[in-house]
Structure 1
Amino acid sequence: KLAATTSLDAPERVSTTDVAAPSPGKPAATPEMQMQTSIDRLSQYRVGNDGLTALKTLLVYVTNVLDKPTELDKYGKINSANPAFKKRVGSFIGGLSFLRAIGFEKDLDGDLFVLHEPNEPRLRDAKLRLQKAIDAFPQ
């Protein structure tokens, strides 16, 4: 039978080579990955075509910003407290994260999502992704 050793009998050896390096965390998702994940989540809401309504509403937001870039005061702001917004987009997983992925940021008051600096290539990509998801949505 072996005798149990205590830390006094056999002190632990301390070495930097014995310490495992911390595992790297998940890489940050790119805006494109965030957009697609959000669209995929919204596409899962099939009852009452809620997901389709959310996708179409987001497409309107994106299209308005692209078509009227000089009117950001009007089209670059979304009131998240608006009942229609809540019903169509805000109450579904993926809605707000999509807006963040395309550059909208919550203002200090917390009710407005504001697009300060539109990224046209990203918005065009978002428009294509939304249209593809809408076209593929089961009718």
Structure 2
Amino acid sequence: MYTPGAVLDRKCVRPYKLPPTESCPGVEIQPGEGIWVPVHGIHHDPRYYEDPGRFDPERFRPENKHLIKPFTYYPFGSGPRVCIAQRFALMETKVVMTHLLSRFSFCVLEEAPVPLVIQPDNLSLGIKGGAWVGIRRRS
């Protein structure tokens, strides 16, 4: 739902022309120029994901993976520059979550904006109004 980085950066290796759209003229990219791939925008685009604002882990089950359009899901990048620490990051996240959930209870506080609204004027992914979570030690 909420990628840690809102964009991926890449460097163009051969001339490429992006086709024009309704809101943007065509753009030519030359070798050596950097581009940003708007991962958060792609992950929340209704052209690629039905009801993109809804948390739905079922869409990523093995039997549903064929429904995901290629190159529209970038949890750790893609291609030859995929994150080399992807497996470690997933394992580390599972260990940390298991540790925290075994010792603490979490709840959403009244101050938390529901549903979450992404802060639009921030380059990194942030929640408008902040993240309000209550944490209580389990006894």
Please classify the TM superposition score into its range, dividing by the shorter chain length: under 0.3
Larger of the two Rg values belongs to structure: 1
Which structure has the highest strand share of the two?
Answer: 2
Which structure has the highest helix share of the two?
Answer: 1
Q: TM-score, normalised by structure 2?
A: 0.25
- Structure of higher RCO (CA pairs closer than 8 Å, 6+ residues apart): 1
